[in-house]
Structure 1
Amino acid sequence: MSRNDSEIVLKSSEHAHQARVFSVHELTLRTGEGVVVPLRRQSAQVLTALIAADGKILSKDALIAEVWGKSAVTDDSLTQCISDIRKALDDDDHLLLQTHARKGYALMRADGAASRNIWFSKRGLASVFGVAGVALLLAVSLWPDRDSSEKPAIAVLAFEDFSPAPDQGYLSDAVAEGIITELARFAPFSTIARNSSFSFRGKALSIEEIGEALKADYVLEGSQQKLNEKLIITVQLIDASNGRHIWAESYDGSVSQLFEFQAEIIRRVASTVGGQLAVYPNPTGTRETITAMHLAAKGLQHQRKSGPENNRKSQSYFEAAIKADANSSKGYLGMGFYYRNMAWYAETETERNAMRGNAVAMLERALELDPENYLTHYLMGHLHADAGDLDLARARYDKTKLLNPSFSNAFVGSSPPLIYRGDLDAAIADIQHGMAIDPLHPEWFHRYLAWAYWSAGDCGAAKSALDQLSRPSPNALKTKAAVQVCLGETADSRVTAQALLEREPNLTISMERDNFDGLWTDPGKLEAWLDALRLAGLPE
């Protein structure tokens, strides 16, 4: 491995074969001879936090908060990371990574000293620890200090497509979406949700205006251009406060290099914005995988539109994705969406259950191929919730949040199981967090928040949430009627119920009871909901 201006490589002349180098640009742990030492992403994050602590003891809670944030994980996850690090460092005797009973962990030198040797390079800071001939190096990019309680936020805008007509729309938004997903896994900064950052497509606004609207410190914008098998991706990282370009880069190669380009963009953004880095597995795949990704992206474009006709249109793209690469999860995930929607459109319970079974089978295959695809876990969570398996649903939603902390839908969409059980503080907190990371969030977020507030007995707050809706859905109208009854606005609730029945003329109290029976177990809440709708004028 060569030495450059952002990395210092330390090799002990006596124990060169035992050296360990953690590089900010390689984002891998290597031996002194340059051989990659396997280390999972979360384990690398734990290692980074321990090195930054400079020999001080970090509690389990502090490490979990640093690496997993607000995601629900157990001590077992941290214990596995500690084990991974010791294995990677050949620290079988626990001399380097020490356990302090009932206190936590510390990364120490063999003599127990907390001091360290430091070398400065033009771009980075390298910290070296030694024990029994083992050396560990960490390169950390320098960035101006900020309040440690505030994470810098970055927004990734939809990339412009400059491809000629035959290749226009290739991969759709998959390049930018992949960057958002991976950046969201880095703890030192937050990533604005896709819903918000992509909403500026085609709008003539300055970077400063976009940054202010999204509450973002940095904006990444870019373009893609495909011509036959040639691919050019250009990206610029911009300071959102003043529009200053921090850096710009162009990646010019073949379509098969897409994942390579994506990984390098992620690394460079993370090193600039975050200051300290975690390791994550590089996206990988063949040319066929990229074709499957392109086809699946086309199918998802139809999925984002409502109605059975758009659902049917998506099917052929997902089937073509599977045919293009049967070892890619993308087509199977898409078919999971397709079958779940078919279940909603089904006219009989038998047909509905069959479609859900097909969806589960497709998602299980997708998880076999890619266990860390956040959308697969999210959709599986919905299917568990559809079946009334709220514990399984909650576990899937929690996994989704861990895999993509910027996916606001997971925080808001996972609130119904909490509302059903009466865990209302947690439901409201999740919804508010989803809104915070998605400043331009869709209107349905407000409907879920209003429902949670009504369930908690705060009908004033519920009304304020509903006031944010420009055109309430039928479910929002139900909530509005219940809230109006709660506030003593019975006459208004009857007007709302009438508007609801105009859109769903066959809706009855009995149907509503069937929808929630066995799910809404918070004592008395289902009956209170039905009583409110009854007072509003919904027929039995």
Structure 2
Amino acid sequence: MSISDQDIRAQLRRLMDHPEFPASPQRRAFLTYVVDEYLAGRADQIKGVSIAMSVFNRDASFDQQIDPIVRLEARRLRQDIDSYYAGPGRDDPMRLSIPKGGYAPRFEQVAHPKADPVSDEVLRHEEPAPHRSSRTIWVLAGAAMICGVIWIGLSFLGAAPGRDPDLPKGPIVAVLPFESLGEAPESLAYGITQQLTTELVRFRDLWVLPLGTVERFRDSQIDPQQLRSEFDADYALEGSVQETGETLRLSARLIDLTAARYVWVRSYEIGLAPSEIYAVQDQIIRDVTGQLAGKYGLLTQDAMQLAARTAPAHRDAYDCVLEYYSYQITINLDQHGDVKACILNAVDQNPEYAEAWAVLSNLYVQQVRFNLGGDRDQVLQAADLAARRAIQADPNLATGHLMLANLLFVEGDIQGFRQAGQRAVDLNPNDGAILAHFGMRLAFAGDWDRGLAIGDRAIALNPVHPHWYHFPRVFYLFDQGDFDQALSVLDRIDMPEFFWTHLWRAALNHEIGDEAQAEAALEALLNLQPNFAVKAPDILSIWQLDDLFKQKLMNSLHQAGLSG
């Protein structure tokens, strides 16, 4: 049957007029615009740029690669529409949709069978679909009838699992315009806001709302519930600049919008000299991005805790990546198999999820790095394919280039490692995890000064960094013969399930003459790695340490009691 323009407009009014259609005013304007363009015969001209300029007040300089507002709001609008048709609109005569891959609407007439009372009762008692979820939920209701069985299936969130693959994963953050108080320069407040937004966008484990999206909150009272309902935001970053006589006071605050409370606050006081203003502006950028974003920042750690409470069978692709980073904090190798299985499932669910491919590469490399089994050549080939798949899916994903660098390092291609590692750092210079990986390998390859400096920066960026960030300093101090100081640094590493901890405790305690502690540490090492004496040459060779260093370390372990 043909669908008339009047039918389409009637269906649009049904959505717009229904109190349970959850779309925000902006998303309603989005939907109205694309329907109007469709009815005007311009469906082929409905593009992200035209929507941005007509609906979201962007100008001709709009760049979809930098500002994802249209894709972000299109995803939410699709969820709004699906939620409507799963509930109040399930009996509508027409289905309106916006298929993924474009923004032109589609209209389909729906033939509704005679209602079955048992099925209707099931549907009336179904839990409402959450407004925001990364999982696809299928509601199945069946009723046996004298003439047969009627099977009803409803998808509450659309057919594709997880978020759109071309959008970031993780919590949504709104960087609100910093407030200028007193005589403080407006330009400084605006500059900090702009730079923070630009830097946070680098982190692919965050959704950062574009600056223009929240510009109207300038000089107005922040309403956490409005940010939650209108933008689906999880956190808001706000701040102020205030001139107090001869000084400027800058503050930054992170709000958990769900709990409506501050979770991070930092203040800075400086002189009025331009050099000081620029310096503290850069410091704020580093503090915020280092401590809040990144793989082990506050925002990601909150998401890790939420993912950990999800049953393995129900974890989606993003949850699996979070599980990987949680595992990386302690590197408990007993978890390696389960984490790898989850990531393999993640890339199967979402084959364009670049971050999942990147961490899968590192999991393969760990099989070789820690002698976890498998044919070395085949495992490294799989690691190479996964890293390159990550870069192909997202050439600007720093983690993809980092994992390629790690692989090249294991293979002994130091020049290739340096190039890929530097590319990762250039893409996201304030991601502590990237700095720690790259700095550690630079140090082990003999560039101790630069490697340790990069590692120290990773530690300074995030006070709650994983403890393995300290290992390069232990290696270096051992090489320098400063065993007491090496033990002092080792004491900062709380990783009892990771064999390197006990390896170094055995070697260093022997060197300072504490044989009882050395013997206990060696026993713990062999509990985790029973065949370490046999595996040691392969394990040490992977880290590209020079022969003299390896010989010195193995001598210490043999003298501590390691046999074989």
TM-score normalized by the length of structure 1: 0.48
| TM-score, normalised with respect to structure 2 | 0.46
Which one has more relative contact order, counting CA pairs under 8 Å at least 6 apart?
Answer: 1
Which structure shows the bigger proportion of residues in helix conformation? 2
State the structure with more CA Rg.
2
